[in-house]
């Protein structure tokens, strides 16, 4: 396929959290607001005058200082983020909106106010206590937490308009991005797609780490380009897989799988498009804020949810993606030391393999892709198994 016009530009934007477009937005006087977890609705950080910046630590080579604070026995993602903060990589931020998504995440976010790594006089941190069920009691708590820890600080500390009208506008503008990304992502459903999993991963990531208003023209242009892009004469991969699990913010990981011969057709992981790019619908008589909370609580696929309906939803959602995107199997990953996804991975792989008849390969990964030989071997073996299954007619 012909190269996408903006792919290299997008790749460059992903080389640094404080990238070119972030700098531009800061110069324009927008408030840069950081977050880590899906529990913090991106849309609320894109209220008029603000932009969201989902925190990554690209090109992280060492977490030595973070290891001192959090030990080497903790999540490599949170250590990488803390290290990058200490290095000064997030000094552009005016706030970090954290979530007690897990103990490691909370501890890392606490360091943002305990050791003050972000050198920005406006900077502050809040941490919400997100719910673990999808019922009304949990929704009410979620709303109360977001109001107390996100909306009110935005209003009181940064003077941001948090009115219903402002939230509606943010929803509208965010939905425009979500529609573009969803349409781009849907190209992956084709038998011979005009986009690779790697390319989509890059596009999805730039939409999370760059100011929406500045990245949108590039995304629109890329969508137009894809509409007329010619696919390879023949599907160039040996299998199609859905990548499922915990945090993945390095497109090189997707590239690794694709280099082994399987196209990543669906991305259901933290930083992926499922969930994150579903259009937010405001029902009649509902406030925009209520709609946002309902939307996020419904779509969240976090392994932290404990109730039966949400556990079931996690598995059903993957089953839906496998069917819609015609995946031959699932690669289920979890970040090393992640308690939630370690458990969910074990349970889900049992459910997929034995109950839903979906082939599943489970792996554990580090944040920074270093020695990938073992992973490559695992992927190659899995892809070969999928291929053989296909040759044998699905048996």
Partner 1 sequence: MKITDKLISAIDKKLERFDPLWQAEHGVGGQRDRYYDKTGVAKWREWRGVKDTFYDYTQWLYNLYSMVLMVGSAPVACLKGFWEYRWMGSYLGTFMFIDRLFEGFRGYELRTAHMNMHAIVQSLTKKIALVLANDKRLGGGPLSDNMVPMDEVLPPLFMTGFKDLIPIPLQTLPEFIICDIDQHIEPYYIDVAESFGLPADVCSRCSAETGVAIDDAFPIIGKAFLTTNMPCNASEATSMFQRRRLGLPDMPVTMAMIHNEPGAHPYSTQVLRDAIAFIEKEYGVKYDWDALFERAKHMNEQNTIELEKWDIFKTPHSALCGIAETLYRLYSWASVNGQEDYFTENDRKVIKIMRKAYEERYRPFKGKTRHRAFLWGPSAVYYTDFPTWIQNCWGINIVLNMDSTMGHNMIDTEDPEKAIEDLALFSEKGVMRHHAVGGWENVNALWEWAKNFDCDMVIFNDNVACKGMNGVHALMEEQARDLGFHFIFLEHDLEDARTVSRRDMRKIVNNYMTVVLNEEPLDPTLVDFDDSLAF
DSSP summary character for residue 3: P
Q: Quick one: which H or E segment has residue 128? A: strand 124-128
- Closer CB to partner 1, residue 152 or residue 232? 152
**Looking at 9, 124, 299, 340, which residue binds partner 1 (CB under 8 A)?**
340
User: Cβ 85 to partner 1, closest distance in Å?
Assistant: 14
User: Does 378 help bind partner 1 (rule: CB under 8 A)?
Assistant: no
- Closer CB to partner 1, residue 21 or residue 55? 55
Q: Quick one: which H or E segment has residue 170? A: helix 164-186
User: Does 69 help bind partner 1 (rule: CB under 8 A)?
Assistant: yes
DSSP summary character for residue 30: P
Edge to edge, what strands does the sheet with 360-365 contain? 262-269, 239-245, 329-335, 360-365
Instruction: In whole angstroms, give the CA distance from residue 289 to residue 286.
Output: 8
User: Does 291 help bind partner 1 (rule: CB under 8 A)?
Assistant: no
Look at the alpha carbons of 359, 364, 367, 369 in this order and tell me if their dihedral is positive or negative: negative
DSSP assignments along 294-309, one per residue: HHHHHH---TT--SHH
User: Cβ 110 to partner 1, closest distance in Å?
Assistant: 5
User: Does 75 help bind partner 1 (rule: CB under 8 A)?
Assistant: yes
124-128/95-99 β-pairing: parallel
Which residues ranging from 230 to 269 are in contact with partner 1 (CB under 8 A)?
A: none
Within 8 A by CB and 6+ apart from 317, the residues are 268, 274, 301
User: Does 140 help bind partner 1 (rule: CB under 8 A)?
Assistant: yes
Query: How many residues sit close enough to partner 1 to count as binding (CB under 8 A)?
Result: 53
Piece of 16-24, 182-190, 266-274, 346-354 that binds partner 1 (CB under 8 A): 346-354
User: Does 137 help bind partner 1 (rule: CB under 8 A)?
Assistant: yes
User: Cβ 36 to partner 1, closest distance in Å?
Assistant: 14
User: Does 63 help bind partner 1 (rule: CB under 8 A)?
Assistant: no
Q: How far from the centroid of its chain's Cα atoms is residue 232's Cα? A: 28
**Looking at 50, 184, 303, 375, which residue binds partner 1 (CB under 8 A)?**
303
User: Does 94 help bind partner 1 (rule: CB under 8 A)?
Assistant: no
CA-CA-CA-CA dihedral for 275, 280, 283, 285, to nearest 10: 120
Instruction: In whole angstroms, give the CA distance from residue 53 to residue 150.
Output: 15
User: Does 61 help bind partner 1 (rule: CB under 8 A)?
Assistant: no
Nearest to 251 by CA among 305, 219, 291, 206: 206
User: Does 317 help bind partner 1 (rule: CB under 8 A)?
Assistant: no
Task: Give whole-number Cα distances, 381 to 50, 264, 361, in Å.
Answer: 46, 16, 9
User: Does 387 help bind partner 1 (rule: CB under 8 A)?
Assistant: no
CB 29 within 8 A of CB 89: no
User: Cβ 100 to partner 1, closest distance in Å?
Assistant: 5
Helix 251-259 to helix 373-391 angle (10° resolution) is 50
User: Cβ 233 to partner 1, closest distance in Å?
Assistant: 40
Piece of 208-216, 223-231, 284-292, 332-340 that binds partner 1 (CB under 8 A): 332-340
Between vectors from CA 38 to CA 37 and to CA 44, what angle results, nearest 5°? 105
Window 168-207: contact mask with partner 1 (x via CB under 8 A) = ----------------------------------------
User: Does 353 help bind partner 1 (rule: CB under 8 A)?
Assistant: no
- Closer CB to partner 1, residue 193 or residue 329? 329
**Looking at 70, 242, 291, 321, which residue binds partner 1 (CB under 8 A)?**
70
Footprint of partner 1 (CB under 8 A): 68-71, 73-75, 78, 100, 102-104, 106-108, 110-111, 114-115, 127-129, 131-133, 135, 137-138, 140-141, 144-145, 148, 303-304, 306-308, 311, 336-337, 339-340, 342-347, 349-350, 362, 364
């Amino acid at each position: 396929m012909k190269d996408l016009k903006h792919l290299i530009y997008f790749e460059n934007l992903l080389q640094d959290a404080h990238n070119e477009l972030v700098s531009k937005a800061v110069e324009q006087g927008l408030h840069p607001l950081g977050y880590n977890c899906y529990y913090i609705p991106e849309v609320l950080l894109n209220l008029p005058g603000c932009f969201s910046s989902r925190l990554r630590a690209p090109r992280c080579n060492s977490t030595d200082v973070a290891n001192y604070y959090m030990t080497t026995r903790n999540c490599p993602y949170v250590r990488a983020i803390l290290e990058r903060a200490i290095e000064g990589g997030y000094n552009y931020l005016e706030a970090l909106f954290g979530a007690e998504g897990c103990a490691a995440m909370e501890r890392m976010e606490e360091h943002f106010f305990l050791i003050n790594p972000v050198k920005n006089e406006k900077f502050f941190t809040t941490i919400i206590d997100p719910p673990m069920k999808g019922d009304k009691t949990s929704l009410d708590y979620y709303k109360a937490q977001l109001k107390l820890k996100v909306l009110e600080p935005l209003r009181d500390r940064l003077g941001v308009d948090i009115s219903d009208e402002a939230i509606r506008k943010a929803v509208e503008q965010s939905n425009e991005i979500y529609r573009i990304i969803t349409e781009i992502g849907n190209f992956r459903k084709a038998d011979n797609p005009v986009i690779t999993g790697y390319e989509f991963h890059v596009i999805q990531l730039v939409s999370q780490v760059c100011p929406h208003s500045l990245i949108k023209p590039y995304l629109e242009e890329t969508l137009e380009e894809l509409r007329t892009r010619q696919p390879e004469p023949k599907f160039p991969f040996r299998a199609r897989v859905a990548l499922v699990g915990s945090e993945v913010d390095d497109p090189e990981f997707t590239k690794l799988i694709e280099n082994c011969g399987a196209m990543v057709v669906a991305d259901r992981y933290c930083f992926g498009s499922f969930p994150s790019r579903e259009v937010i619908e405001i029902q009649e008589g509902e406030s925009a804020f209520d709609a946002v909370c309902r939307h996020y609580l419904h779509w969240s696929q976090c392994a932290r949810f404990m109730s039966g309906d949400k556990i079931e939803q996690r598995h059903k959602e993957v089953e839906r993606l496998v069917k819609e995107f015609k995946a031959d199997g699932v690669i289920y990953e979890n970040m090393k030391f992640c308690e939630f996804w370690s458990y969910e991975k074990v349970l889900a792989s049992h459910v997929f393999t034995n109950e839903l008849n979906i082939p599943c390969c489970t792996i554990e990964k580090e944040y920074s892709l270093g020695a990938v030989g073992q992973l490559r071997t695992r992927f190659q073996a899995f892809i070969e198994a999928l291929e053989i299954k296909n040759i044998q007619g699905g048996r």
